[in-house]
Amino acid sequence: MREYLLTLCVTAAVTYLLTGPVRKFAIAAGAVPEIRARDVHREPTPRLGGIAMFGGLCAGLLVAAHLTNLKSVFETNEPRALLSGAALIWILGVLDDKWGVDALVKLGGQMIAAGVMVLQGLTILYLPVPGIGTVALTPMQGTLLTVALVVITINAVNFVDGLDGLASGMVCIAAAAFFMYTYRLWFGYGIEAAAPATLFSVVLMGMCLGFLPHNMHPARIFMGDSGSMLIGLVMAAGAVSLTGQVDPDLLNQKAGGLREATHAMVPVYIPLLLPLTIIAVPVADLILAIVRRTWKGQSPFAADRGHLHHRLLEIGHSHSRAVLIMYFWSALIAFGAVAYSANDASMWIVLGIVLLSAVGLVLLLLPRFTPRAPIWAERLVPPRYRRVVRGPLAAGASASDATADGVAEETSGEERRTAVPAGINGATAIGDRSRFVDRRRAGSHH
């Protein structure tokens, strides 16, 4: 565990320290695109954050190669395959961040990067199929399945990268859940084939943690396609390594031993299901986007404002709350799958997941049902929950003066929601709070 912590810290530190210089380089290089209609940020922000993340990836793998307990991982070709594919996808992303690359060209580049990893041995060899057992794949089948998984994961992460800190945070949560499972397989059950996936998940966590402080709202730099496609490929590499390299029969023998009935087969199918659960939210967003765009007669790669995070803003959530809600659902699905695979008392795990899902739905719909405190309790709650926001009025002040002093007349909830578009300048469904902030900002410039 100490070696993994050291690798994590080095990767995060290098990524964090490189992000500042990379931001200055991006501004000097002109990698600051204009604000588009579908963007939610208000000021032009530099991209190319993927350069720092790629530096963190290289540093993490370099340190791990010199650690005693992790040297065995580098006796295989999997780290080399990861680095080769990551370099190709990173170069493609840098070109897209600076000059823009056609969607079909990017898709072809993603497939080439996945093919390079396959050629170096990072591929799916066999799959556990319910009712049949372990099925060995032909080289062609393994190649097609691996390329499909890598491309889907890359685009899923790329699609969800729409709010400050959203993609890096969700991928970090998924990587943490993935690490818990793979570490248990390697050190708990002695399955050596799980070692590369464990290392990949640690390095991925370090890349995301090092970049997050610069990317949280309000973001000072975006990871761009060079970063989102990179972390998507690293996540897919870990999933391919675990799914295709770990023998399901050996896993069932060591991890399933004393279990009975259906739960005895969980360890066999978890390597197949867990990579899907950790990207469940991004993949759901990807599928909904493709269906939505093709239904309208548009290209599946056409950009719009219909993603899950955009809809959270539309129903009244603030930027930070929308990101935290997406974090919550990602953590619930990923860690719920890991907990179910590790605990014999699975019924309690399921009940806990159902209960937390109900809590998540309440949080999701909270702006639709804004509570209002009774009159006698108004002094005890924040102003947003009061029926009337009161303030001191100077004697003889006019109505316009009162408004300028921050006195708001009583309005209905619907009027508050339509005052300013939700999610813009801090406005939410519970009231227009941005006009006072904007007035203070405007006054500070004079």
Q: Does residue 329 fall inside a structural domain?
A: no
Per-residue pLDDT at 343: 64
3-state DSSP assignment of residue 135: strand
Mean predicted lDDT score pLDDT of the chain: 75
Whether 277 maps to a domain, the answer reads yes
Residue 261: per-residue pLDDT: 38
Residue where a domain stops, chosen among 260, 284, 305: 305
Is 96 labelled a binding residue? Answer: no
Q: Among the three residues 256, 274, 305, which one is the final residue of a domain in this structure?
A: 305
Bridge partner list, 135:
127
Q: Is residue 113 part of a domain?
A: yes
Domain boundaries, position 197: 2-305
Statement to judge: residues 289 and 383 lie in one domain: no
Residue 284 in any domain: the answer is yes
CA-to-CA distance for 224 and 212, rounded, in angstroms?
A: 13
Q: What are phi and psi of 108, to 5 degrees?
A: -65, -40
Element (H or E) spanning 103, and its range? Answer: helix 103-119
Token code pair at residue 285: 């967003």
pLDDT at 274: 62
Q: What integer is the mean pLDDT of 124-135? A: 72
Within 8 A by CB and 6+ apart from 109, the residues are 88, 89, 92, 101
- Domain boundary pick from 280, 305, 330: 305
Six-digit token pair at 186?
């390697």
Q: What is the pTM of this model?
A: 0.73
Look at residue 365 and tell me if it is in a domain: no
Are residues 300 and 424 part of one domain?
A: no
Higher pLDDT residue, 201 or 187?
201
Count structural domains, the chain: 2
225 is in an annotated binding site: yes
pLDDT in tens, 198-250: 999 999 999 999 999 998 878 889 898 999 999 999 999 988 888 766 666 66
Average the pLDDT over 413-423 and give the result: 39
